[in-house]
Amino acid sequence: MKLKIYLVRFIKLKDSEFMKILFKLFLIILTLPLHSQTLTIENDTIKTDIFDVIYSEELEQPLWITYKVLCPMGTQSRSGLNFYTNDSIHTSNNEDYKDNIWDKGHLAPASAFNCDRETLKKTFTYLNCVLQHEGLNRGPWKELERFEVGLSKIFESVIVEIKVCFEGELGVVSGGATIPSGFLKTIKFDNKEIMFYFPNIDVSGEDWGHFKVMN
């Protein structure tokens, strides 16, 4: 009975301008995404549940990341997932990727962590996102990600390390984030390691093997 009385009072009150605003804010809060990513910082390294990253708040880009491929046989869909920011670290955001040639490039790929919806979602943090040329992200970079996930179906442990390079004259997007010049990617498995360097340009149509670094 008391609940019914309170509801009637609320309906009467919400006609006021203040209550309308308060009601809208309440609805916005209800629709905000919840992310349970655990972050700890040791020296300069941010340790998450699925990867370690060094991040530059000045450049608004990651500098380095390492991860282990977890779920080579996963089948989770990434449909409906969007990148999200973190309150404690100043990162790039959606504005940096609007109306330009720069994709929201995963460093730790979604395909390596699609064991379940919650784990997959953790790859969509801007801590794991770079300004990556669409021709690279959708071309040889994506194919190399498929290769590393395939390796993990054969070998017990596949560890990947990526250095994000900032060399020469660097561009800055209108949102304020700095554009990387390239990416140095090392894949470690079965006591071996192979290294690749990708310039952050349009390399669509090229084979990922062309970017292998001889060591």
Q: Model pTM?
A: 0.81
> Which sequence spans correspond to the domains of the chain?
1-32, 35-213
CA distances from 147 to 78, 133, 144, 152, 215 (A): 19, 20, 5, 9, 20
pLDDT at 42: 73
What's the token pair of residue 179? 């554009």
| CA–CA gap between residue 194 and residue 160 (Å, rounded) | 10
| CA–CA gap between residue 17 and residue 46 (Å, rounded) | 44
Residue-wise pLDDT tens digits, 157-170: 999 999 999 999 99
* pLDDT exceeds cutoff 70 at 19: no
Q: Per CATH, the architecture of 35-213 is what?
A: 3-Layer(aba) Sandwich (3.40)
* pLDDT exceeds cutoff 80 at 33: no
Residue-wise pLDDT tens digits, 78-120: 999 999 999 999 999 999 999 999 999 999 999 999 999 999 9
Phi-psi region of 36 (alpha: psi -120 to 50; beta: other; left: phi over 0): alpha
Mean pLDDT for the chain overall: 87
Residue-wise pLDDT tens digits, 178-196: 999 999 999 999 999 999 9
